[in-house]
Amino acid sequence: MAAPVEILSRLLWLRDAAALPDTVLADQLGLEVKALAALVQAHPDRFPEPLVFHLTAEERQKIPEAPVLAFTEAGAALLTGLVPDREAALLVLLPAFAEARHLLTAQAELSIRLTALEHKLDMVMKVLEGEEVEGAPRERPIGFVTETDLPHGLKARDRAAKGRP
């Protein structure tokens, strides 16, 4: 049975998508890699390029296992429809793939939030150290402000509120 952590550790990030190499998918489905490739070749209209893609030579050089095909979650789901024991494939592989995708998404969201917090902390530290920070509120003097120092349109709004033209 495929565990989400096992699937996650074998996922590749290729062409802006999480994908499983053909060797891993064949292993999870209990097929040989050649049989998996034959299924894809026999049904080319069922496996469009964004869902199942052939790796380029450059992409294969970066991957230790050097797979030929990579399957996105949707590509793996389409493949399970062609596997002889598809109920087992659906019950084992797809939930693990979905959980792995969820873990990746949660990690990306945390990374974004952490980056935003680091940026805010940086700004606070600069303000505390007395540095000028772009986007930080400017100090306003207490007391009388001349009309030229008023923000644009403020005087006109005051006049309109008092009923003057």
Alpha-carbon span 16 to 23, nearest angstrom = 20
pLDDT at residue 165 above 80? Answer: no
Task: Tokens for 108, please give them.
Answer: 């990306």
Domain ranges of the chain: 1-165
Q: Taking residues 145-163, what's their average pLDDT?
A: 63
pLDDT at residue 158 above 70? Answer: no
Kindly report, residue by residue over 93-134, the tens digit of the pLDDT: 777 777 777 777 888 889 999 999 999 898 888 888 877 777
First to last CA, the chain: 78
Coil, strand or helix: which one is 138? coil
Asked whether 18 and 70 are in contact (CB, 8 A), the reply is: no
In the prediction, which pLDDT does 1 show? 47
Asked whether 21 and 70 are in contact (CB, 8 A), the reply is: yes
In the prediction, which pLDDT does 113 show? 93
Give start and end residues of each alpha helix (H) in the chain.
Answer: 4-10, 22-29, 33-42, 57-62, 73-80, 86-128, 154-161
pLDDT at residue 137 above 90? Answer: no
Confidence of residue 153 (pLDDT cuts 50, 70, 90): low
Kindly report, residue by residue over 79-92, the tens digit of the pLDDT: 877 777 666 666 66
Supply the angle between the helices 22-29 and 73-80 in degrees, to the nearest 10. 40
Alpha-carbon span 103 to 5, nearest angstrom = 9
Kindly report, residue by residue over 19-72, the tens digit of the pLDDT: 888 888 888 777 888 888 888 888 888 888 888 888 888 888 887 777 888 888
pLDDT at residue 76 above 50? Answer: yes
Q: When comparing pLDDT for 42 and 163, which is higher?
A: 42
Q: Please, which residues have CB within 8 angstroms of residue 2's CB and are 6 or more apart in sequence?
A: 28, 92, 93, 96
In the prediction, which pLDDT does 145 show? 63
